[in-house]
Amino acid sequence: MPAFPAGFRWGVSTSAYQIEGATAADGRGPSIWDTFAQEAGRIVDGSTADEACDHRHRYAEDTALLAGLGVSAYRFSVAWPRIQPTGAGPANAAGLDFYDRLVDGLLAAGVDPVATLFHWDLPQALEDAGGWLNRDTAARFAEYADLTAARLGDRVKLWITLNEPFIHMSLGHGIGTHAPGRMLLFDAFPVAHHQLLGHGLAVAALRASSTSPVAIANNYSPVRQVGDTDADRAATEAYDALHNRLFTDPLLGLGYPDAPGVDPAVVRDGDLAVIAAPIDVLGVNYYNPTGIRAPEEGSPLPFEIVPLDGYARTAFDWPVAPDGLRELLLHLHRRYGDALPEIQVTESGCAYDDAPDAQGRVDDPERIAYLDGHVRAVREAMAEGVPVTGYFVWSLLDNWEWAEGFTKRFGLVHVDYATQRRTPKSSYAWFRDLTRR
């Protein structure tokens, strides 16, 4: 492995809803994922995240795992429904107390707390009022950011406003496979705009009580054109604009691209300036490239997503393509030039069907190979001039993988959900040795 510059941030990521459990503790209110998971047929194994990894109670044990891993940063998310159980009004002190203890524990362990404010767990009360389709949710989000920063702003080392607004829009509101389960296709555009507006307002709120840098974490996927007709090319451009540019162009001051669904009537005077408030770091979440070709006649979509041949695959059936990460980082650099802030890879990882052997060890050589390839890809992009300053593995723990329930294991640490026993996998030792070097 080639050397990384001193000070490069090595971390792991999680999100509140996927690990915390204790959905009724601290006076937490319900979120859209509690509602969604209770609906028949939504989650493949019929599970809920009511217990998940029980991290709300086991955070001290999990902090010790982070310390043992030797990472310099831990990216977690704050559950909005713990801070504002109904999505509005004064802060719930018990909710903030939990994150206060977590942050202090991390600092005592020498780990920088990196806090994401919204990782998809919208308070159900806000959804009942229209959720992200309602412009007011952007203002509510800024209020929540303000309450959280007032308490944690002196210790959180990097703020991330939103996690993957594209996935929340497309899966949650476009095709309905994630909460809140709406199927609006391109009529989901207000969800994009109001999340971005909420982001911009939250940047201002965070700056008011914290001097720490501010970021957003976007999902990116290099698009591979399948077929070589003009229609295939147009489909590829449309998908690229939707997945890779819809959120990033306006964030970096370029306004909305010509992407499917963009509706100027939703955008009010002054909104684009709020959205383009300078950020310090662009968070890049990368899992795989996407194959695109022209749609069949009569399709409601201007593209068709097709499986890419010739790759090894994870247990999610996602292609293993480390070079896609290098390509994507170079693309961002080329596309945005000087407007691009420093980048941290805020998620990179893979699911495999890891299980303990007869001795209780969990050996996951595929994950080691996967991460090794992706870390090298980052180093190559850096050598070609892309300003990358951090890399976070998704995820510390096996956890509740949204609509896939407990069926997909992404952790460096295996979790036995019946006993909540944590077992570091061989990839944990590998990553520890890498970050030590």
Q: What are the catalytic residues?
A: 164, 347
Helix, strand, coil abundance in the chain, percent, nearest 5: 45, 15, 40
Q: Which is nearer to ligand BGC, 4 or 159 (CB)?
A: 159
Binding mask 239-278 for ligand BGC (x = CB under 6 A): ----------------------------------------
Q: Least CB distance from residue 77 to ligand BGC, whole Å?
A: 9
State which of residues 34, 164, 240, 354 lies at the interface with ligand BGC (CB under 6 A).
164
Using CB under 6 A as the binding rule, whether residue 401 contacts ligand BGC is answered as yes
Ranges within 50-109 binding ligand BGC (CB under 6 A): none
Using CB under 6 A as the binding rule, whether residue 314 contacts ligand BGC is answered as no
Q: Least CB distance from residue 13 to ligand BGC, whole Å?
A: 8
Output the 3-class SS for 320-389. Answer: CCHHHHHHHHHHHHHHHHHHCCEEEEEECCCCCCCCCCCCCCCCCHHHHHHHHHHHHHHHHHHHCCCCEE
Q: Least CB distance from residue 16 to ligand BGC, whole Å?
A: 10
Any residues with CB less than 8 A from the CB of 195 and at least 6 apart, and which?
118, 132, 138, 162, 165, 168, 169
Question: Is there a contact between 23 and 34 (Cβ–Cβ < 8 Å)?
Answer: yes
State which of residues 63, 84, 137, 163 lies at the interface with ligand BGC (CB under 6 A).
163
Q: How far, in whole angstroms, is CA 328 from its chain's centroid?
A: 17
Q: Least CB distance from residue 82 to ligand BGC, whole Å?
A: 17
Angle at 93 between CA 88 and CA 98, to 5 degrees: 115
Question: Is there a contact between 236 and 303 (Cβ–Cβ < 8 Å)?
Answer: yes
What's the one-letter identity of residue 322? P
Kindly indicate which of the ranges 134-142, 162-170, 173-181, 306-314 contains the residues binding ligand BGC, using the contact rule CB under 6 A.
162-170
Tell the residue number behind the tokens 């939703």, with chain if given.
266
Kindly indicate which of the ranges 96-104, 163-171, 324-332, 367-375 contains the residues binding ligand BGC, using the contact rule CB under 6 A.
163-171
Q: Which is nearer to ligand BGC, 25 or 167 (CB)?
A: 167
Q: Which is nearer to ligand BGC, 50 or 404 (CB)?
A: 404
State which of residues 124, 218, 219, 288 lies at the interface with ligand BGC (CB under 6 A).
219
Q: Which is nearer to ligand BGC, 164 or 237 (CB)?
A: 164
Tell the residue number behind the tokens 């969604």, with chain if given.
36
Burial letters for 289-312: b for 16+ Cβ neighbours within 10 Å, e otherwise? bbbbbbbeeeeebbbbeeebeeee
Any residues with CB less than 8 A from the CB of 167 and at least 6 apart, and which?
178, 219
**Size of interface with ligand BGC, in residues (CB under 6 A):** 10
Q: Least CB distance from residue 385 to ligand BGC, whole Å?
A: 27
Question: Is there a contact between 220 and 164 (Cβ–Cβ < 8 Å)?
Answer: no
Kindly indicate which of the ranges 138-146, 159-167, 186-194, 198-206 contains the residues binding ligand BGC, using the contact rule CB under 6 A.
159-167
Tell me how crowded residue 358 is: count the other CB atoms within 10 A of its CB.
Answer: 5
Kindly indicate which of the ranges 41-49, 62-70, 160-168, 332-340 contains the residues binding ligand BGC, using the contact rule CB under 6 A.
160-168
* C-alpha span between 66 and 43 (Å, rounded): 29
* C-alpha span between 185 and 79 (Å, rounded): 27
Kindly indicate which of the ranges 36-44, 103-111, 126-134, 161-169 contains the residues binding ligand BGC, using the contact rule CB under 6 A.
161-169
Q: Which is nearer to ligand BGC, 160 or 292 (CB)?
A: 160
Q: Least CB distance from residue 288 to ligand BGC, whole Å?
A: 10
Using CB under 6 A as the binding rule, whether residue 167 contacts ligand BGC is answered as yes
Q: Least CB distance from residue 422 to ligand BGC, whole Å?
A: 18
State which of residues 15, 218, 221, 244 lies at the interface with ligand BGC (CB under 6 A).
15
Q: Least CB distance from residue 394 to ligand BGC, whole Å?
A: 5
Burial letters for 385-416: b for 16+ Cβ neighbours within 10 Å, e otherwise? ebebbbbbbbbbbbbbbbbebbbbbbbbbbbe
Ranges within 17-46 binding ligand BGC (CB under 6 A): 18
**Collapsed DSSP state (helix, strand, coil) of residue 421:** strand
Q: Least CB distance from residue 299 to ligand BGC, whole Å?
A: 25
State which of residues 10, 394, 428, 430 lies at the interface with ligand BGC (CB under 6 A).
394
**Collapsed DSSP state (helix, strand, coil) of residue 251:** helix
* C-alpha span between 276 and 24 (Å, rounded): 37
Q: Which is nearer to ligand BGC, 303 or 394 (CB)?
A: 394
The binding site for ligand BGC (CB under 6 A) comprises: 15, 18, 163-164, 167, 219, 285, 347, 394, 401
